[in-house]
Amino acid sequence: MDEMTETTTKPTELSRGLTQRHVQMMAIGGTIGTGLFLGAGDTINLTGPSVLLIYMITGAFLFFMMRAIGEMLYVDPKSSSFVSVVSKYINRETGYFVGWSYWITLILPAMAELTAIGQYLQYWLPHIAAWKMELAIMAILIILNLTAVRFFGEAEFWFASIKIIAILMVIAIGLFMIVTGFKMPGIHGGTVSFKNITDGFQFFPNGSVDFLKAFPMVFFSFVGIEFVGLMSAETVDPKVVIPKVINTVLVRIMIFYVGALAIIMAICNWRYLPANESPFVMVFQLIGLHGAAALMNFVVLTAALSALNTLIYSAGRDIFALSKENDGPLERYFAKLSKTAIPARAILFSAGLICATPVVNFIPALSSAFNFFASATAAITLVIYTLIMIAHRHYRKSSDFLPDGFKMPFYRVTSPATILFFIFIFALLFITPTDRIAAYAGLAWTIIFGLFSRYYVNK
């Protein structure tokens, strides 16, 4: 009787509370991570101006992957996520593997983002223990994620807006300097111009190995671009909104990554950009903006909060998608939604693990293990992306294929090329010792958990 009452009072499907405004801004926010603000100096130092080409190549292949996801979701906009399409077009065992593997790649980065947030907050509040601020932030984000999905969308809208404004400020300032022929002082002396990019240009200023090393760094700065594929079931009119949002992926990459880095290298000779300092901070300081470090700390804090908020959201939806595909006791527990059509159980489970971050940071053995597994998520992400592309190839051969749908462009060429590109990035992980460990760990996870998934689903 109680079970019947619960069924009649609680929804069984996610509500469509995300508007085009929300999804559009979240898609932009998902593309722009803290890696752009803090890690761009590393990649510029490795390759110089040719890093722009690496961003364009990587961005193009990720756009093709997003079109593949979009094509499958267009046919079935009720799909909870790309977990559903992998289960449908490959098999349930692979869907189970992708679902829980993807969840791992959400939880571990979320713990890293929470640690970073504690450090950013200590810039202003040095006398308050980081763990206290971390738990306070988690409490706020959990409440936000347990309310109606439109409130989550609204929060992400404003988080993303701050990141976008910061980048557009740099682009606008740079273009003004170029137009007015502004001359930089000191070691950066000289006229601000795009000639700073082309003068003495070399494809491999530090050698071809460093050029290749930059590919994985650039690739992982884009991770999170696939979050849009988890929003279809909660988006108003997804057949209209999702294609529009995905079609702007390439434009966003060109403006916010290629555009911003080109402007930075036009302002400062790239040879003088320090690898361990944010080039954005440097630009603000060079133009005489007081409090440049504080401003960038606020921006990266916002970027980290945006990332953490989205990771909590995505982890909950990922487990809910798994619960729709499998009928085990664990999945049945997570299949129930709250009265506001939120997968509250899945969110609380995921957020509870993320809240263990302060404990992990306090215990050296756990911290070392965390760093090892966190680096392995990079390799696992590549496996997941490849399986999504394989699922898309199966979809194309299925009866669901819509010849007049939201099709992946130039499929016969772009589909195999994208898969080969992901394999290429995975192979490049073996160049450096740290990445090599991650690659081996990713392979071990794929084999061991892949076998477990096959056993569990078919038992």
DSSP output for 171-238:
HHHHHHHHHHT-EE-GGG-EE--THHHHTT--S-TT-HHHHHHHHHHHHHHSTTGGGGGG-GGGBSSH
Give the residue-averaged pLDDT of 418-433: 94
Give the residue-averaged pLDDT of 28-50: 77
Asked whether residue 10 is domain-assigned, the answer is: no
pLDDT at residue 1 in the model:
43
Residue 183: strand pairing partners: 191
Give the residue-averaged pLDDT of 270-294: 76
Q: What's the whole-model pTM score?
A: 0.90
What is the rounded average pLDDT for all residues in the chain? Answer: 85
Give the residue-averaged pLDDT of 396-419: 94
H/E stretch holding 305 reads: helix 292-325
Per-residue pLDDT tens digits for 169-224: 889 988 998 999 888 776 666 788 888 888 878 888 888 999 999 999 889 888 88
Asked whether residue 371 is domain-assigned, the answer is: yes
d(CA 429, CA 294) in angstroms, rounded, equals 34
Contact 219, 201 (CB under 8 A): no
Asked whether residue 378 is domain-assigned, the answer is: yes
pLDDT at residue 29 in the model:
66
pLDDT at residue 6 in the model:
45
Please identify which residue in the block is written with the tokens 């809910």.
Answer: 320
Q: Is the pLDDT of residue 144 over 60?
A: yes
CATH number at residue 137: 1.20.1740.10
Contact 56, 254 (CB under 8 A): yes
Asked whether residue 246 is domain-assigned, the answer is: yes
Asked whether residue 9 is domain-assigned, the answer is: no
Q: What are the b/e assignments for 218-254, b being 16+ CB within 10 Å?
A: bbbbbbbbbbbbbbbbbbeebeebbbebbebbbebbe
pLDDT at residue 107 in the model:
92
What domain count does the chain have? 1
* Tokens coding 379: 């390799």
Q: Is the pLDDT of residue 8 over 70?
A: no
Asked whether residue 362 is domain-assigned, the answer is: yes
What is the domain extent for residue 212?
A: 16-458
pLDDT at residue 137 in the model:
95
Q: Is the pLDDT of residue 352 over 90?
A: yes
Backbone angles phi, psi at 346, to 5 degrees: -65, -40
Asked whether residue 8 is domain-assigned, the answer is: no
Give the residue-averaged pLDDT of 286-302: 79
Asked whether residue 205 is domain-assigned, the answer is: yes
Closest CA to 159 of 15, 14, 33: 33
d(CA 142, CA 349) in angstroms, rounded, equals 11
pLDDT at residue 341 in the model:
84
Percent residues over pLDDT 70 in the chain: 92
Top-confidence range, 24-38, 290-304, 344-358 = 344-358
pLDDT at residue 239 in the model:
82
Q: Is the pLDDT of residue 28 over 80?
A: no
Give the residue-averaged pLDDT of 129-137: 94
Q: Is the pLDDT of residue 3 over 60?
A: no
